[in-house]
Amino acid sequence: MSDRYFSNSYAEARHRFREAAAAVRAIVRTYSVESTSSNELTIDVAVLGGDSDPALVVSSGIHGVEGFFGSAVQLALLESLDGASSKKNIRLVLIHGMNPYGYAYLRRVNEDNVDLNRNFLTGAHDYTGAPDGYHGLDGFLNPRSPPSRFEPFKLKAQWNIRRMGLQALKEAVAGGQYEFPRGLFFGGKGPSRTAQIVQENCDSWVATSQHVVHLDLHTGLGPFGTYKLLLTERADSERLSWYAETFGTECVESLAKSAGTAYRASGLFTQWMRTHFRTRDYRSVVAEFGTYDVIRVLGAIRAENRAHHYCSGSSPLYLAAKKELLECFCPASIPWRRQVVESALRIIDQGMQALPALEVHA
């Protein structure tokens, strides 16, 4: 049953991941993440395969609470490798719990309120500004008060959608901002510890592989239980046909597409990786698995942020906000859990099957 791969906490997921990696004799590298927490918070990277083999990278948990899903997929994948000769001659790189603080404390962001998937920028001068429209939405997005059960949030959100249009609103809200440290989708004022770990160590993870397919696992966008593979490639990229042929035309969507599932954003992890490895054949997708409608998901993010900053950790409002955030990014529904893990393993298999052909046609 696919749902058995879901853990009940970050600590449990980390332990299970490390045990599963050891069982298939993967090399596990551990990187401590500085935190105000007394708990052991680490990014763990399991590597299998030769240095020069074509590589499949599967990353999870850059948005903290989304790690419950990503870890489940990685556990299921590691279990499937036991005795599977078809997986040989591929370098497998599994990056587990990229935001261990958010994972452990049911946040999408890290201990500094930084959205790590807006934090991968190229220079210190880039950590400034906000999308057009964010300033005007600050009062709506970031009230300086605890969450309220009686606030008509849905009506406010619907009014803003009618006023701006859904796609424009998504880009204004979630494109990445660098001016409101307690606000939603704050990308930080410089590279986070996670970004530093990636930047200092990703070359050793990929080693000398010249052909790489990278799948970054996410939840929260799209219809319940479905998925889209979002591309940071330009709309005129010659590679778009390869993604469509490998994963299915109906599953692939460019971030440049208007009125799509996602939106354009700055500081994306996969975009940084593809730029860093630009001299290699490095292909990446953001694999988004849908949960609930966009208004409910935004409401959960907003309420949790308010609870984190303006409530005590034992208050009912705080606990309710955490519960709703977890449900919006890792639903308790058993059918959802089974469906998304099975879909993710199918996508991973498609990527693995495509890698040898990339090497042959180089």
Write down how long the chain is: 362
How far, in Å, CA of 98 to CA of 93, rounded? 13
Q: Which residue has the tokens 């309120």?
A: 113
State the pLDDT at residue 122.
84
pLDDT at 86 over 50: no
pLDDT at 341 over 80: yes
State the pLDDT at residue 116.
98
- Cα diameter, the chain: 61
76 forms bridges with which residues in the sheet?
none
State the pLDDT at residue 124.
65
Per-residue pLDDT, averaged over 27-56, amounts to: 90
pLDDT category at 258 given cuts 50, 70, 90 is low
State the pLDDT at residue 257.
61
The residue ranking higher by pLDDT, 273 or 86, is 273
- What is the distance, to the nearest Å, from the Cα of residue 159 to the centroid of all Cα atoms in its chain? 29
The residue ranking higher by pLDDT, 208 or 1, is 208
pLDDT category at 177 given cuts 50, 70, 90 is very high
pLDDT category at 40 given cuts 50, 70, 90 is confident
Give the start-end residues of each E strand in 98-151.
none
Full-model pTM: 0.95
Q: Given its phi and psi angles, is residue 281 left (phi above 0), alpha (psi -120 to 50 degrees) or beta? A: beta
State the pLDDT at residue 85.
39
Confirm if 51 and 316 have CB atoms less than 8 A apart. Answer: no
Give the contacts of 8 (CB within 8 A, at least 6 positions apart). none
Angle among Cα 333, 155, 305 to the nearest 5 degrees reads 60
pLDDT at 83 over 90: no
Domains of the chain, start order: 2-120+187-292+333-360 (3.40.630.10), 137-185+295-327 (no CATH)
Residue 6 structure tokens: 């879901």
Confirm if 177 and 131 have CB atoms less than 8 A apart. Answer: yes
pLDDT at 140 over 90: yes
Residue 56 structure tokens: 């499949």
- 3-state secondary structure at position 113: coil
1-30 residue pLDDT tens: 678 999 999 999 999 999 999 999 999 999
60 CB-side CA count, 13 A: 30
State the pLDDT at residue 261.
62
State the pLDDT at residue 39.
72
pLDDT at 271 over 90: yes
- 3-state secondary structure at position 291: coil
How far, in Å, CA of 118 to CA of 166, rounded? 20
148-175 residue pLDDT tens: 989 999 999 999 999 999 888 988 999 9
The residue ranking higher by pLDDT, 357 or 276, is 276
Give the contacts of 243 (CB within 8 A, at least 6 positions apart). 229, 231, 233, 252, 283, 285
288-330 residue pLDDT tens: 999 999 999 999 999 999 999 999 999 999 999 999 999 999 9
How far, in Å, CA of 261 to CA of 290, rounded? 10
**49: how many CB neighbours lie within 10 A of its CB?**
20
Distances (CA, A) of 122 to 34, 127, 157, 279: 22, 9, 33, 17
The residue among 133, 129, 233, 249 whose CA lies nearest residue 187 is 129
DSSP sequence for 204-225 = HHHTT-SEEEEEEEEESSSSTT
Mean pLDDT of the chain: 92
State the pLDDT at residue 236.
76
The residue among 73, 157, 65, 48 whose CA lies nearest residue 102 is 65
State the pLDDT at residue 262.
64
Residue 126 structure tokens: 């880039």
How far, in Å, CA of 156 to CA of 146, rounded? 17
